[in-house]
Homo-oligomer: A and B are copies of this chain.
């Protein structure tokens, strides 16, 4: 039997390679898994994403959706970003962001920024029930693959 990883501290010291990996995952993300709180229990749904330059991301969600009501009642949420490729799904990098949701005004600039990343959302971005929401990270857990975990600060996520 191989050595158990119990002997290893699972969190590595943050370095520039980890920061670059995290920033790349966030910048390239066009969707993620958003965990919200409903009646005290976690609830995870897919959201579409557009990146901002400050390490945050923006999503466009409907008042008809469970997660929108959840974020209004409890704006502290979490977002998983990073898609697995072939083989073991745990061998591929991903990042968990701890976020606070901020409901935004649907300005022309805000809409244009979102549509640059999500052109198909043109079909419904002007629906009255759709909201642009910024997900601002307060911290992150980066997992670059087995034995490559890092705890990151908001500063680590800004290029």
Contact = CB atoms under 8 A, between A and B. Distances in A.
Nearest to A31: B89
A33 B87 CA distance: 17
Interface in A1-31: 1-2, 4-6, 10, 30-31
Interface string A65-93: 11000000000111110111001111100
A98 interface: yes
Contacts of A129: 4-6
A134 interface: no
A66 B94 CA distance: 14
Interface of A: 1-2, 4-6, 10, 30-31, 33-37, 41-48, 62-66, 76-80, 82-84, 87-91, 94, 96, 98, 118, 120-121, 123-124, 126-129, 141, 143, 146
Q: Nearest 4 CB-CB pairs, A to B? A: A33-B33, A35-B35, A31-B89, A35-B42
